[in-house]
């Protein structure tokens, strides 16, 4: 899922179809009221033959004009997986052609891909290439596209990591990666240093790449954040810090059992937290407890970071949802063990997702909970403030969906008014449909995304919004930072008034 600036969002999925195609890629756009805009079943993006199982991660983002950006693999090139990219207009127009832009065409598999628009207005796609031989070399490959989908680098892309490139060993095959845009058209990638086998050095490694694929930090050699491997098949978490740097989280077993870690790297490539990262919890570490599956880290307005994880006993039969706040210096501020948000019992909390609170400190976390002995899943949400207190529903989780069904996936995105949208697959009527719900700033559900000028969230734009904005501005309330610059300034006045007098999207 990817949010649009007009309050709507894009949702994409692989739909199961009969052999030999196996899967079609489809996409849907919701407007600010949650109404589908591309038909009841969404828009067919690609009916090219896919593998019988969807190995490899894919990506959906949105560009500055609200168009969808998609990248994924299929078998259009033959028996091996190849990567293609699409740019799709709000009305469903295929802006890069009916079949998108094919980015790889060789005799080996390309699995994962990430796509984003960069600050220069162009588009970067990075994908992983797997190869047991030397040609073409294994590793991460970059391609850049202009607004028309024309390739800006060599036709086959540029190898940026692996096979001796970017400080990698001659046989390294990095994978399991994420990407965010940075400054001057660059991107930041976090990846496993080498993922060829179960015993490979899957160390968390990060680098910033220029528009030609050159590594910009550390003399061109990627920065290794820790010399302990994360588990095979595990994807770490990477988000922008809002200042062209990055915040990352992952789990590894350096202390004997799995524990969660957080690290920040600024735009210049300086690692800001202690070497190896900051542990989310140092209480009840192995063998008694596991601190696993950390959420995407959530950067806060004062340089703090919020992270959530699954706390488990050694047998993983007893669990809860835990949270931690790490300040800008890398200090745990909610105690060395963090805060438990749910009871430590046999109910299972997983698929933990997190997003910023609408304004000011705190975060919103969503999760799936399955009760002991049940096959039905409940979806819940919690908002915590800067002290870790739960602020919704008298300190209790909010039920987002209690329909008796199995549920999965759960992408989460912040919408234009600071609410969040959560999407999941759901078996309530068949093998799996797609459902979505909007969770508002006060924990209520549904309704339209608010107009940008509705500062007091009353549901309408009126002169009272001006009075309330000015009161917040002169009191230094972080909610007055309407342009999300990280500070309240006179520019926020101009930007608020522009939103106030503009028509609602």
**Residue 35's pLDDT band (cuts 50, 70, 90):** very high
Task: Work out the average pLDDT over 480-497.
Answer: 91
Q: What is the pLDDT of residues 400-410, one digit of tens each?
A: 999 999 999 99
Residue corresponding to tokens 């600050």: 119
Q: What is the pLDDT of residues 43-66, one digit of tens each?
A: 999 999 998 876 789 999 999 999
State yes or no: pLDDT of 334 exceeds 80. yes
Task: Work out the average pLDDT over 467-484.
Answer: 92
CB 96 within 8 A of CB 85: yes
Assigned token pair, 404: 């008796």
Mean pLDDT of the chain: 95
Task: Work out the average pLDDT over 333-353.
Answer: 97
In 3D space, the residue among 174, 84, 167 whose CA is nearest the CA of residue 129 turns out to be 174
Of residues 479 and 92, more confidently modeled: 92
CB 222 within 8 A of CB 161: yes
Q: What is the pLDDT of residues 169-199, one digit of tens each?
A: 999 999 999 999 999 999 999 999 999 999 9
Cross-strand partners of 130: 109
Reported pTM: 0.95
Report how far residue 276's alpha carbon sits from residue 261's, in angstroms, rounded to the nearest whole number. Answer: 8
Of residues 95 and 359, more confidently modeled: 95
Of residues 287 and 109, more confidently modeled: 109
Report how far residue 266's alpha carbon sits from residue 254's, in angstroms, rounded to the nearest whole number. Answer: 25
Q: Tell me what pLDDT residue 442 has.
A: 94
**Residue 446's pLDDT band (cuts 50, 70, 90):** very high
Q: Give phi and psi for 193, each to the nearest 5.
A: -55, -45
State yes or no: pLDDT of 486 exceeds 80. no
Task: Work out the average pLDDT over 407-431.
Answer: 95
Q: Give phi and psi for 61, each to the nearest 5.
A: -135, 180
The per-residue DSSP string of 324-336 comes to: EEE-TTS-BSS-T
Q: What is the pLDDT of residues 356-383, one digit of tens each?
A: 998 889 999 999 999 988 889 999 999 9
Report how far residue 158's alpha carbon sits from residue 268's, in angstroms, rounded to the nearest whole number. Answer: 23
Q: Tell me what pLDDT residue 284 has.
A: 81
Q: Tell me what pLDDT residue 374 has.
A: 87
Report how far residue 416's alpha carbon sits from residue 451's, in angstroms, rounded to the nearest whole number. Answer: 9
Provide, rounded to the nearest whole percent, the portion of the chain with pLDDT above 90. Answer: 90
State yes or no: pLDDT of 285 exceeds 80. no
Q: Tell me what pLDDT residue 73 has.
A: 96
Q: Tell me what pLDDT residue 287 has.
A: 73
- What H or E segment, with its residue span, contains residue 474? helix 463-474
**Residue 286's pLDDT band (cuts 50, 70, 90):** low
b/e code 251-287 from CB counts within 10 Å (16+ = b): bbebeebbbbbbbbbebebebbbeebbbbbbeeebee
**Residue 504's pLDDT band (cuts 50, 70, 90):** confident
């Amino acid at each position: 899922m990817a949010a649009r600036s007009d309050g709507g969002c894009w949702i994409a999925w692989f739909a199961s179809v009969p052999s030999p195609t196996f899967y079609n890629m489809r996409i849907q756009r919701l407007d600010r009221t949650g109404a589908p805009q591309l038909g009841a079943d969404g828009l067919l993006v690609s009916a090219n033959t896919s593998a019988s199982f969807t190995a490899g991660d894919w990506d959906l983002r949105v560009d500055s004009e609200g168009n969808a950006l998609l990248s994924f693999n299929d078998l259009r090139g033959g028996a091996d997986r190849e990567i293609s990219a699409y740019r799709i207009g709000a009305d469903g127009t295929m802006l890069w052609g009916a079949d998108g832009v094919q980015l790889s065409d060789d005799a080996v598999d390309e699995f994962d891909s990430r796509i984003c628009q960069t600050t220069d207005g162009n588009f970067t796609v990075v994908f992983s290439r797997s190869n047991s031989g030397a040609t073409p070399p294994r590793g991460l490959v970059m391609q850049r596209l202009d607004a028309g989908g024309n390739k800006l680098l060599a036709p086959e892309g540029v190898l940026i990591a692996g096979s001796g490139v970017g400080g990698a060993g001659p046989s390294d095959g990095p994978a399991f990666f994420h990407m965010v845009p940075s400054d001057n058209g660059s991107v930041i990638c976090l990846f496993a240093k080498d993922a060829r086998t179960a015993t490979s050095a899957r160390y968390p490694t990060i680098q910033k790449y220029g528009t030609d694929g050159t590594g910009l930090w550390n003399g061109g050699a990627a920065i290794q954040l820790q010399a302990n491997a994360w588990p095979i098949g595990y994807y770490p978490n990477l988000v922008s810090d809002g200042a062209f740097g990055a915040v990352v989280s992952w789990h590894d077993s350096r202390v004997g059992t799995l524990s969660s870690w957080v690290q920040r790297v600024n735009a210049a490539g300086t690692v800001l937290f202690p070497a190896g990262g900051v542990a989310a919890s140092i209480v009840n570490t192995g063998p008694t407890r596991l601190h696993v599956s950390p959420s995407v880290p959530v950067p806060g307005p004062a340089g703090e970071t919020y992270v959530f994880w699954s706390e488990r006993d050694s047998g993983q039969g007893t669990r809860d949802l835990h949270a931690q706040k790490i300040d800008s210096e890398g200090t745990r501020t909610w105690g060395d063990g963090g805060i438990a948000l749910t009871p430590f019992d046999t109910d299972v909390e997983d698929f933990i997702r997190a997003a910023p609170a609408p304004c000011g400190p705190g975060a919103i976390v969503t999760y799936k909970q399955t009760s002991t002995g049940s096959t039905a899943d409940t979806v819940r949400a919690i908002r915590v403030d800067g002290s870790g207190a739960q602020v919704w529903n008298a300190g209790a989780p909010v039920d987002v969906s209690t329909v008796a069904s199995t549920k999965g996936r759960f992408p989460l995105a912040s919408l234009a008014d600071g609410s969040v949208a959560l999407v999941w697959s759901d078996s309530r009527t068949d093998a799996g449909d797609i459902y979505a719900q909007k969770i508002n700033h006060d924990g209520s559900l549904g309704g339209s995304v608010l107009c940008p000028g509705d500062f007091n969230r009353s549901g309408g734009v009126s002169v009272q919004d001006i009075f309330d904005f000015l009161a917040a501005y002169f009191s230094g309330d972080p909610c007055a930072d309407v342009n999300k610059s990280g500070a309240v300034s006179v520019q926020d006045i101009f930007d608020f008034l522009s939103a106030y007098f503009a028509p609602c999207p």
